[in-house]
């Protein structure tokens, strides 16, 4: 189960752990792994569609697990997190935790993801209109 705060509990090696992906955990992951969380999420999504296609590096998964555990288990090492990678309960918690961390689309948001109707398309060139008004 995923509580409202995004924490996900699981058992591993006879111990109970709680994983959470708040902004602090995501920032830790990106700093330590030198990789954007969005890149890893993309690789995970692609790997679910085609397991042999684009799986994320195991080292990135270990950093991700460590980052998610740091809030309540700051002593978990990268080596310990790496040993957790293949466990189905850890994989389930990782998936639930990442989904809980992802922002949910707001259907009432202005524009609903459509381009603004009054916005001009850019030609990709720099306009001289601003310079012609100088003087």
CA distances from 49 to 46, 54, 55, 57, 100 (A): 5, 9, 10, 16, 20
Give residue 95's pLDDT band: very low, low, confident or very high (50, 70, 90).
confident
6 near 21, Cβ under 8 Å?
yes
Q: Give the pLDDT score at 77.
A: 96
Residue 58 — left, alpha, or beta (φ > 0 → left; ψ -120 to 50 → alpha)? alpha
pLDDT at 116 over 60: no
State phi, psi for 91 to the nearest 5 degrees.
Answer: -60, -40
Q: Give the pLDDT score at 105.
A: 61
- What is the per-residue pLDDT across 74-89, written as a single tens digit (0 to 9) for each? 999 999 999 999 999 9
Domain coordinates in residue numbering, the chain: 28-100
Give residue 127's pLDDT band: very low, low, confident or very high (50, 70, 90).
very low
- What is the per-residue pLDDT across 12-36, written as a single tens digit (0 to 9) for each? 999 999 999 999 999 999 999 998 9
Q: Give the pLDDT score at 109.
A: 56
Q: Give the pLDDT score at 25.
A: 93
């Amino acid at each position: 189960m995923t509580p409202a705060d995004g924490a996900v509990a699981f058992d591993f090696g006879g111990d109970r752990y709680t994983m959470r992906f708040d902004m602090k955990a995501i920032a830790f992951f990106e700093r330590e792994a030198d990789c954007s969380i969005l890149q890893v999420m993309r690789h995970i999504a692609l790997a679910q569609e085609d397991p042999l296609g684009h799986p994320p590096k195991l080292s990135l998964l270990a950093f991700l697990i460590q980052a998610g555990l740091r809030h309540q288990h700051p002593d978990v090492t990268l080596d310990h997190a790496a040993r957790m990678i293949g466990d189905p309960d850890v994989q389930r918690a990782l998936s639930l935790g990442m989904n809980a961390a992802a922002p949910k689309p707001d259907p009432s948001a202005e524009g609903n993801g459509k381009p603004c109707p009054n916005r001009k398309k850019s030609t990709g060139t720099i306009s001289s209109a601003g310079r012609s008004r100088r003087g």
